[in-house]
Structure 1
Amino acid sequence: MSTVRTRRIVLVRHAKSERSDVIDDHERPLAERGRRDAPAAGRWLAGAGITPDLALVSTATRTRETWDLLTPELSERPGTVYEERIYAASPGELLALLTELSEEVDDVVMVGHNPGIHALAEILAGESEGDLTARMSAAFPTSAIAVLTYEGSWKAVGPGAARLVAFWTPRS
């Protein structure tokens, strides 16, 4: 007899990046504000008791820098996979990455980009605590974090299957 496992999906939009007409978008680094906000996001995750088993991080410079500044705040660094498929991904492509996860993973963090990360959070959230869905739908700024819970196999995760249990922004 199998037991239904509760999973946690943590979706993080990268911290504020530099604007540039001369640097390729994939290589844009964090701005000073981003270098301040990323550790704050890590402190929030640690304070919420969230220590993921696995991190899926876009290969873009700004997402890797966000992750590198966020992780020292966690109680332990999870295994990290730098995944090029996250960069410029649609919500459907991001969802497909979740369905590929090992069943041994209970808590995953994905560090990516808008509009994909925001849209994925909205697609997954079938229900939420209080006004979290309205707050998240209004804006998903840089460094924002959506935490969703899901019960079941990763292969079956899909639209409306999760519950939005927390939403944080550096200006909340």
Structure 2
Amino acid sequence: MKRLILMRHAKSDWSGGGNDHNRPLNPRGRKAAAALGDWLRAHDLLPDQVLSSSSMRTHETFVRLDLPQDIDVIFTRALYLATHDEILKAMRNASGDTILTLGHNPGSGIAASQILASPPDHPQFQQYPTGATLVADFDIDDWKDADWGKAIARHFVVPRDL
């Protein structure tokens, strides 16, 4: 079995203008990212590999999750505003048994809806708001075999739930 934790970055700060890639989290986003990390630890859902966009808001979300230091983390420009197909491509190259992908919409939300055999019963799933986190299991031995419609949703949470 392989486990995917598909997370959209926490709420970012639009007040500074400037370069989108360098946009940080706002105070609500910083609090939400910490709460998501607490939730992951409380449910024993720790990844052994993280595949993240290289943006400031995804990096800051990752840092505030406060995950163990020994996790293999890859920050890549390839996941910055990645499409759902680009997210699947990155997943297929993963090496961990439980991976966390940390990215942006619309790619993360589309990937979440397409990766599952059936969606979770949650009113916010289709919107995939900031901080949305899906935990899904694949009955596969190698990430190369991950495909659309093959995962089973185990958890779905948004920061407002926490």
Kept in 1, the 8 Å contact 2:51–2:99? The answer is yes
Counterpart of 1:97 (choices 63, 68, 90) is 90
Question: Residue 85 of structure 1 corresponds to which residue in structure 2?
Answer: 78
Kindly indicate whether residue 45 of structure 2 is the aligned counterpart of residue 50 of structure 1: yes
Greater Rg, structure 1 or structure 2? 1
Q: Secondary structure at the match of 1:23?
A: coil
Counterpart of 1:112 (choices 103, 112, 121) is 103
Question: Residue type matched to 1:149 in 2?
Answer: D
Kept in 1, the 8 Å contact 2:49–2:72? The answer is yes
Matched residues, number:
160
Question: Residue 146 of structure 2 corresponds to which residue in structure 1?
Answer: 157
The alignment's TM-score, normalised by the length of structure 1, stands at 0.87
Compared with structure 1, are the counterparts of its residues 77 and 140 closer, same or farther at alpha carbon in structure 2 (3 Å cutoff)? farther
Kindly indicate whether residue 65 of structure 2 is the aligned counterpart of residue 64 of structure 1: no
The alignment's TM-score, normalised by the length of structure 2, stands at 0.92
| Alpha-carbon distance, 1:59 to partner | 0.4
| Alpha-carbon distance, 1:9 to partner | 0.2
CA distance in structure 1 between the partners assigned to 2:32 and 2:119 by the alignment: 25
Q: Percent identity?
A: 34
Kept in 2, the 8 Å contact 1:20–1:28? The answer is no
State the superposition RMSD in angstroms: 1.6
| Alpha-carbon distance, 1:128 to partner | 5.1
Q: 1:83-107 CA deviation, whole Å, 9 max, x = no partner?
A: 11110111001101111123xx210
Kept in 2, the 8 Å contact 1:12–1:145? The answer is yes
Kept in 1, the 8 Å contact 2:36–2:159? The answer is yes
